[in-house]
Structure formats: C-alpha cells, structure tokens
Copies of this chain bind each other. A is one copy, B any other.
C-alpha cells in the first residue's frame, strides 16, 4: 500500500472482486436493470412481519448469494464490512448476525458501499484478510417511514426527491494469490472474464455547503463528490478522460448536473464519461421516481449487477466508482441543521 498525494492510497497488490451480486424488489425488477439482478422479490415484505426485518432479509440474501456464487463458505471470509441507513444500522446487524464472520459496522449513509468496499480492499491488500465481504442495503418502505412519512400517509414527493432503492448488494474481495474457487460461475456466459481489481482508494472528507433541503439530497451530496473526485485526480495527476467511466452513487438528476457544474468551475470536465447509479436503476419517466434512485442499496446493487459484470466482460477497463452519502438524520433536519455529506472513491481496473 502506497500513499499518493494528500488523500489517495495505491493498492499495489490489486485485490480483486471474486464474487458479487445483488437482490432487489418489485420496482427494481421493472426497471432497466431488472433482468440483471440475481433475484428480485415481487413481494417486497420478503415474508417478514416488519419492513425493518424485510430489509435485514435483503442483506441475508445478498450475503448468502455471493458466498454461493464464489463457491465459498463463511469460513473462507475473515471480515464483513456492512452498514445501512436504518437507525443503529439494524438491517446489517440483524441481517448478518447468523453469518458468524467478524463484523465491522460501517456508516457512510448512501456512500456505505464505497466505504465498505474500500475497507474490504484495504484489509486484503494489507494481509489482514485473504477475503473480506462488503454488503449494504436499503428498502423503500423502511426508509420512507424512518426518514419521511409512513407509506399509509400518502405524502406527495417533491420533484427533487429521490426514490430509495429496495435492494442489497454484496461483493467479496480477495487477494490475487488466493485461489479462486469458481471464477467462471460468477460471470455466466463470459468465457474469459477479466479480473476486476481495486487499484486506488480516496476516502472522502465531510463537506457541508449549507444545503438544508432534505428532499434534495442530490444537491447536498454533489459538493462531496466533486471534492473527492478533484482530490483523486490531483493526487494521481490524471484527468477524467483517462477513465472509461466515472460512476457516482446516487446523486440523481439534480445532483449529477450540480456535480458536473461544480467540477467544470474548477476546470474538470466529466460530462461525457460520467453516469450515476441513481439514474441507471430506474426509468425516471415511466417509473415516477422523480430525480432518481438513492439509498445504500442503490450504488450497491448497480455496481454489483452492472458495473462489475460489465468490467469483467471487458466493456470498461478503468472506472472511478464514487458512492455519495448525506450524513444527516431526521432529527438534525427537524432542528434546522444543514446536511453534511461525503463521497468515497474506489478506482477499479479490469485486468
């Protein structure tokens, strides 16, 4: 591991993504990426009594799924990094309590998949683990009740609001020397998949430009994404054009435009190769999701069912994955506080 510039780590051993996958809900199945989910639950209760338990079940399902895809058991994994947006991260702790793998709870709001993937990669890179898992989730119904209104209330949504993804994604990071048990099954139909590896990590700093509108998370998070991307580009002395894709977490339409504007003002032009998980997961016109998708499950599922597989297939070689998170709570918003935010960057290369 090598420190580069002020904020970036170079992972010289290139830990790789051995297995990945995601589960989703009904709306996610109906969306443009529906067919790529490993499993979707049309009954979004997942047979549970409460929405919190439903979300927990998403994490249980996603973590089991990647173990199966990698032909691995719990004993093959030394650490699991997990988090979510529910109070006290209960979908992670309840969803993974039977996994029996040393557990490190992560909190980065919707950026959690970036943080968890970064931590798993650093643990593997440093030799602390042969394999580590990153898993996160969100559920529209548990999020609405906790952050906005109970579903029964039928609240109107603002045009800038985003739609919390019902889904969970999981990925297993392994050392290059660790013999893969069943690589080919991870990418069905791909005969010679490339290894998706983690090359660099830039951990974000908290930013707060004073945005207070809890119905416009994209605007609150865009400055954090801009800062982390600028930090990384400066540290590595590269430009956006050196990458096939810059994929932010869940800025949605409003936040994506703002991100491009903020970077443009600093002479960084990402428009052409920028996309956002929150824009990919739904058909914004047909699915009435307003500004796009959000939630920890957004970046997690889009990366695990679209980004990583497409890199394995050779469609992208060099990608910056930048999940973003709004670090507020309903309490802080009710108290009139602004919304601090963060974005973590993971540079992925297909080898």
Contact = CB atoms under 8 A, between A and B. Distances in A.
Interface of A: 1-3, 7, 9, 49-50, 52-53, 78-79, 83, 85-90, 92-94, 96-97, 99-109, 115, 119, 122-123, 125-129, 146, 202-208, 327-332, 335, 337, 340, 342
A146 to B, nearest CB: 8
| Number of copies of this chain that the complex holds | 2
B340 A52 contact: no
Contacts of A119: 104, 119
A87 B203 contact: no
A87 B329 contact: yes
7 contacts: A83-B105, A88-B109, A97-B327, A102-B202, A102-B205, A126-B127, A126-B128
A125 B122 CA distance: 12
B87 A335 contact: no
Nearest to A86: B329
Contact of A105 (B52, B78, B106, B331): B106
Contacts of A103: 203-206, 342
A90 to B, nearest CB: 5
B90 A329 contact: yes
Given A87-B88, A103-B206, A93 B340 contact: yes
Given A102-B202, A103-B206, 11 more contacts: A1-B128, A2-B127, A52-B331, A52-B335, A83-B105, A88-B109, A88-B332, A93-B206, A93-B327, A102-B205, A103-B342
Given A9-B128, A102-B203, A83 B107 contact: yes
Residue of A87, A92, A328 with most partner-chain B CB within 10 A: A87
B107 A105 contact: yes
A167 to B, nearest CB: 20
B331 A90 contact: yes
B53 A335 contact: yes
Contacts of A105: 83, 106-108, 115, 327
Contact of A3 (B99, B104, B127): B127
A98 to B, nearest CB: 8
A4 to B, nearest CB: 11
A95 B85 CA distance: 19
A129 B6 CA distance: 11
A340 B202 CA distance: 32
A158 to B, nearest CB: 21
Contact of A340 (B53, B94, B206, B327): B94
A308 B321 CA distance: 39
A219 to B, nearest CB: 17
B1 A127 contact: yes
Contacts of A49: 335
A94 B53 CA distance: 29
